[in-house]
With several copies, the nearest count.
Chain A
Amino acid sequence: MQSSQSTIVYNKKIADNYFKMRLSWSALEVRPGQFVMLRVSDGLDPLLRRPFGIFNVICAKRGTGFSFKRPTGVEILYHVVGKGTAILSSKKPGERINVLGPLGNGFPEPEDARNVIMVAGGVGLAPMLPLAQRLKAGVLLFGARHKADTKIIAGFSGLGCRIRFATDDGSRGFKGFVTGLLADEIKPDSVIYACGPAPMLKAVALMAHRAGIRCFVSLESAMACGIGVCLGCAVKAAPLQAGYEAGVFRMVCSDGPVFDSMDIDWDTL
């Protein structure tokens, strides 16, 4: 947990509007599902840091257990959607970027990795890689707009988890939403880990609820500080669950970004 100047090792385009950036970076420990906040420009416009999930952790020795120890580098997978990510995509190796993190709670460790169903939509794939690397089992259901976007899956192969695709136009795998794949994967003791657009997470949470299985979602929200002080990234908690007070706001950056789907008031998302 620190704010430090990092150096860009590479910044590659890996699909239309999708980039992968590696930064030299040191930290004590990183858990799958945590994120960093990058200062995309030293200038004052854009002013705020931008949050990005930790896509890959570079460690001297792979290590064991659920978390990654003493990384020497970090990778992010990002989608160019606006001003900040556009500036990021123009950065060259050797340039310096300030990194704040690792931040957030990350995914809880499952009892049995084989029961895990990972559900990712678009760039929501990012936090799933460290998770898959740790689990070395389970299934990943990945939804994208079309075939071209599924290129970003490279890196998941050979990790020991099955991968199934869903694309809006059916250009790769199932034609339709990724939730269309979820139904026949759910077993009584399945556990879902999901990251993607809010509507997708909502649908996944509902299916998990109906099936009576646990579901953890990684949420997004506009952020200013990333460390729980500006109170800008609030999401409303569901009526009393897991000890949360009803209607109270939770902070995506410090209470999350990963939440038990039962703890979220989905009507407000």
Chain B
Amino acid sequence: MIKKAKPKAKIDKKAGDALSIEIAGLKLRNPVMTASGTFGYGSEFAPYTNLEKIGAIIVKGLSLMARQGNPSPRIVETPCGMLNAIGLQNVGVENFIRDKLLFLRMLKTPVIANIFGETVDDYCEAAKRLEAAGGVAGLEINISCPNVKKGGILFGTDPHEAHKVVKAVRDAVKLPVITKLSPNVTDIRVMVMAVEDAGTDAITLINTIPGLVVDVERRRPVLANVIGGLSGPAIRPIAVRMVWEAKSVAKVPLIGSGGIISANDALEFILAGASAVQVGTANFLDPDAAVKTAAGIADYCKRHRTTVKALVGAMKTGQ
């Protein structure tokens, strides 16, 4: 990390330090990350955006073994959003290390590996191998993917299961550990306290919300998996509310995710209590969305003579 932090620090100087923020020991040049599963393995976006201007790149969710994912159709558009049921298709940790990490290591931008598994051991083994490989700045544990019938969902909605997997991964590696929560719970604060107690260094919220779209003419679900995860601007008010609720109990930094299309959207999350944000579905509308969002936050900070650090949770309620 130190080796990485130095050059970044320089960039921060140039850009002015208004945007830089440290999360779970990760020094970020700006608070805008790319959300897992919406930015591939980074290299795919090289022709379209400046990867060095992104706060951090979170790669597609990785499992110990490669996964083929769900049959098609896997995606469908919804009002101001989309459902996806990719089924966590991915190349697997080993192929990622062999084929994808080389390119990512050349970037100054910190790379965060998003991991998932069907057992606690899967999570830990994946985490260890990624740490051993080097070049990964941190881990994001996905306990919340709603697409896969087995695994995921259980960890994400039961505080005890969540605690178990996060603690195990936390004990297995030295890398910063971010836990990504599912919104599909009655009280997000319970989950926040559980994963904090398990030793997570930061918390990302929210992942997608389970949804269903019916093809009325064919009288079948549009998605082969029936249920998919809802993402995009449609869910933003729900995500901002959950960040605000989480902030009321959280001791570790929060990372906001859900429907961020613009700097204004990102600032809603930051003011509600997020120290950083993730741009997801917006990458599909504009492959330069993350960089534009960061630039917009810089403008806001200049206009208001403030810094991102000062804006975190700065929303005032009451008269």
List residues of chain A with CB under 8 Å of any chain B CB. Answer: 1-3, 39, 44-49, 98, 100, 221-236, 247-249, 268
Contacts and interface: CB of A to CB of B under 8 A. Distances in A.
Interface residues of B, number: 35
B75 A224 contact: yes
B247 interface: no
Nearest to A42: B285
Given A227-B287, A230-B84, A2 B48 contact: yes
Interface of B: 37-40, 44-45, 47-48, 60, 68-69, 71-77, 79-82, 84, 86, 89, 232-233, 261, 281, 283-288
Given A3-B288, A221-B72, A225-B283, A234 B80 contact: no
Main secondary structure on A side of the interface with B: loop
Given A100-B48, A229-B60, 10 more contacts: A45-B79, A222-B76, A224-B75, A228-B44, A229-B38, A229-B40, A230-B84, A232-B84, A233-B74, A234-B74
B44 A47 contact: no
Contact of A230 (B37, B45, B73): B37
B68 A248 contact: yes
B69 A47 contact: no
A158 B4 CA distance: 61
A47 B80 contact: yes
Given A47-B232, A249-B69, A232 B86 contact: yes
Nearest to A83: B77
Best-surrounded residue of B47, B60, B71, B285 (most CB of chain A within 10 A): B285
Contacts of A234: 69, 71-72, 74, 89
16 contacts: A1-B47, A2-B47, A3-B286, A3-B288, A47-B81, A98-B286, A100-B48, A224-B284, A229-B40, A229-B45, A229-B283, A230-B37, A233-B72, A234-B69, A247-B68, A249-B89
A230 B47 CA distance: 17
B291 to A, nearest CB: 12
Contacts of B60: 229, 231
A249 B286 CA distance: 25
Contact of A224 (B72, B82, B89, B288): B82
Contacts of A49: 284-285
Contact of A229 (B44, B75, B82): B44
Nearest to A232: B75
A248 to B, nearest CB: 6
A151 B79 CA distance: 35
A222 B75 contact: yes
A150 to B, nearest CB: 27
B89 A47 contact: no
Nearest to B73: A222
